[in-house]
């Protein structure tokens, strides 16, 4: 069975994007093994501490390298992606061997799906910037993407509610990922 690694760009326990990942995991059940990457303890990128790679970075790179695809679920912060997620992708884009920029990184060539739950823009700005970044680091961004504009009651209850249309969009994205993985 194919392996899909989920990365949630929010640390909040009741994160809407963590809840969106839960729904996506149910949609992949029986068709892909899903694991989640904990990025809470990934250190800030620092070339002075890059080699040997910090333990949390090595763990993260190993998980990404072993996955057949990555699925990112992220909020939008100020029209862009969260710093924690950017830091994670920066580490994943760095060479695995000191000074060897010719060898592939663990993210290069990897299929990456993007979804996000947030305000009225449904994380469109964040997903556009992530698409640009992921393309730059040579990942393969899967289409379609899913953006969820949260209903007002979600903000009051901390509970993600999806419309039938939003659930169908996520289902179509899950189907596209499964089809891409063959």
pLDDT at residue 141, rounded to an integer? 98
Q: What is the mean pLDDT of the chain?
A: 96
**Interatomic CA distance for residues 68 and 121, integer angstroms:** 30
- DSSP-assigned states of every residue in the chain: -EEEEEEES---TT-HHHHHHHHHHHHHTTTEEEEEE--TTPPPP-GGG-SSPPHHHHHHHHHHHH-SEEEEE---BTTB--HHHHHHHHHHHS-SSTT--SSPPSSTT-EEEEEEEESTTTTHHHHHHHHHHHHHTT-EE-SS-EEEEPPHHHHHH------HHHHHHHHHHHHHHHHHH-
pLDDT at residue 112 in the model:
98
First to last CA, the chain: 10
pLDDT at position 99 = 81
* Position 123 confidence tier, pLDDT thresholds 50, 70, 90: very high
pLDDT at 103 exceeding the cut of 90:
no
Average pLDDT of 59-63? Answer: 97
Domains and CATH numbers, the chain: 2-181 (3.40.50.360)
**Which pLDDT does position 140 carry in this prediction?**
98
- For position 37, what pLDDT does the model report? 98
| Confidence band, pLDDT 50/70/90 cuts, at residue 41 | very high
* Model pLDDT, residue 102: 83
Q: Above 90 in pLDDT, residue 155?
A: yes
Can you give the pLDDT at residue 104? 85
Q: How confident is the model at residue 85 (pLDDT cuts 50, 70, 90)?
A: very high
């Amino acid at each position: 069975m194919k392996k899909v690694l989920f990365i949630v760009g929010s640390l909040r326990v009741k994160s809407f994007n963590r809840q969106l990942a839960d729904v996506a995991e149910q949609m992949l059940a029986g068709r892909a093994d899903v694991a989640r990457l904990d990025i809470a303890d990934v250190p800030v990128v620092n070339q002075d501490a890059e080699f040997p790679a910090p333990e949390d970075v090595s763990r993260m790179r190993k998980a990404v390298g072993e996955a057949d695809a990555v699925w990112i679920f992220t909020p939008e912060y100020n029209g862009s992606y969260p710093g924690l997620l950017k830091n994670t992708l920066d580490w994943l884009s760095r060479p695995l061997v000191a000074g060897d920029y010719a060898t592939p990184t663990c993210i290069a060539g990897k299929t990456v799906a993007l979804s996000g739950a947030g305000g009225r823009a449904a994380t469109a700005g964040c997903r556009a910037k992530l698409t640009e970044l992921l393309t730059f680091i040579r990942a393969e961004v899967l289409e379609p993407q899913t953006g969820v504009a949260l209903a007002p009651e979600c903000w009051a209850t901390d509970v993600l509610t999806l419309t039938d249309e939003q659930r169908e969009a996520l289902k179509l994205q899950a189907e596209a990922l499964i089809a891409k993985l063959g």
